Amino acid sequence: MAGPVKWKIRNIVLGVLLGSFCLYTYHYLTKCGSILWKDCMGTNRPKFLCIDFHGGMANQMFMYAFGLSMSIQRNLEYIVPKDMMLTEIFNITPNTFNDHGFHSGSGFCTRQYEDILDCGYDSSFQKLPSIDLSFKGYFQSWKYWIRYENELRKAFTFKPWISEMADKQIRNIMTKRNATYKDGTTFIGVHVRNGDYSNKHFAEFGYRLAPASYLKNAMDYFRNRFNKVLFIVCTNDLKWTSQIIGKEKDIYLTPAGNPAPVDMALLSLTNHTVMTVGTYGWFISWLTRGITIHYKYPYVIGSDFSKQFHSNYSDHFYPGWIAME
């Protein structure tokens, strides 16, 4: 009986493997058939670049920036899905495979490269040829796109409803505090990220929170540099932030409830920036284009998170920003 049982098991396994192969082939030809046919016939077609967009708003901003730069350098069509969140926030127009006459899942046909140094710069990506490309990762280095910074700033122009809401809010703040740009007030945007980063899994991975002493030092830097300052503070941990800095007279702590894009737009209207940790504060600083103070120690030395950076932070933090502890 052992013989027939073995044959039966073998046939089942072969059947499963054959079925899986047929299913894969079917999906591959369904999604990639048009591209394969054009390539086999020698018909000209656009070459494509795809990004596996995931994570929060600022993470996707880094991904988009990387993809924009790579696509411009290689003259590739940059695929931007219709449901990608940044298309609802910025001056970014969706560009899909369907728009070019191909199956919506044609990204399945492209060779995928993965970013293993999420907060550093991998020069090997610059050596890739002008073929269909797909990328997965975070790509959190300004070095990837610095040559196309002007194009990126145009893309990261807020939708009118966001800009209008942010403009209205900063005018209300000025009225409440009797301060304007014209009266010599220097406005400092402060973003305090604390809430989610205090979770256990972030701590175990090696994320560090900026302490209260850092915020004091960073804010004192601007107090000493300018005659009259007003700090406009946004945070995802209102309770902690209000206990630490909320009672100072030159601080305006924004209430909770603002959509994340509006907070970013609001703080980008200030003159200079204090960021703590995280990519959200990073892009607030970059959009503001003033003096930026950032926390000097974003990770625990030797942690898994630390391995995503180079030995120093120069690949990640924008040139000219000031590290402080």
Encode pLDDT of 26-35 as tens digits: 455 566 868 8
The per-residue pLDDT for 64 is 98
Mean pLDDT calculated for residue range 54-59? 96
What is the percent of the chain where pLDDT is above 90?
66
Q: Could you give the CA distance from residue 130 to residue 90 in angstroms, rounded to a whole number?
A: 27
Between 25 and 234, the higher pLDDT residue: 234
Q: Could you give the CA distance from residue 275 to residue 237 in angstroms, rounded to a whole number?
A: 14
pLDDT digits (tens, 9 = 90+) for 238-282: 888 989 887 789 999 999 889 999 999 999 999 999 999 999 999
Q: What is the mean pLDDT of the chain?
A: 89
pLDDT band for position 221 (50/70/90)? Answer: very high
Half-sphere exposure of 293 (CA within 13 A, CB side): 20
Per the DSSP assignment, residues forming a β-bridge with 287 are none
Mean pLDDT calculated for residue range 42-50? 93
The structure tokens listed for 186 are 């220097």
Task: Judge whether 106 and 31 are in contact, CB under 8 Å.
Answer: yes
The residues near 307 (Cβ < 8 Å, ≥ 6 apart) are: none
Helix H or strand E encompassing 51? strand 48-51
Q: Could you give the CA distance from residue 74 to residue 129 in angstroms, rounded to a whole number?
A: 8
Backbone φ and ψ of 235, nearest 5°: -155, 155
Mean pLDDT calculated for residue range 170-175? 97
Task: Judge whether 285 and 317 are in contact, CB under 8 Å.
Answer: no
Q: Are strands 229-235 and 48-51 parallel, antiparallel or unpaired?
A: unpaired
The structure tokens listed for 278 are 């995280």
Between 304 and 164, the higher pLDDT residue: 164
Q: Could you give the CA distance from residue 2 to residue 6 in angstroms, rounded to a whole number?
A: 6
Q: Could you give the CA distance from residue 294 to residue 170 in angstroms, rounded to a whole number?
A: 23
Q: What is the pTM of this model?
A: 0.89
Could you please report the per-residue DSSP string of 199-246?
A: SHHHHHHTB-PPPHHHHHHHHHHHHHHSSSEEEEEEES-HHHHHHHHT
Is the model's pLDDT at 299 over the cut of 90? no
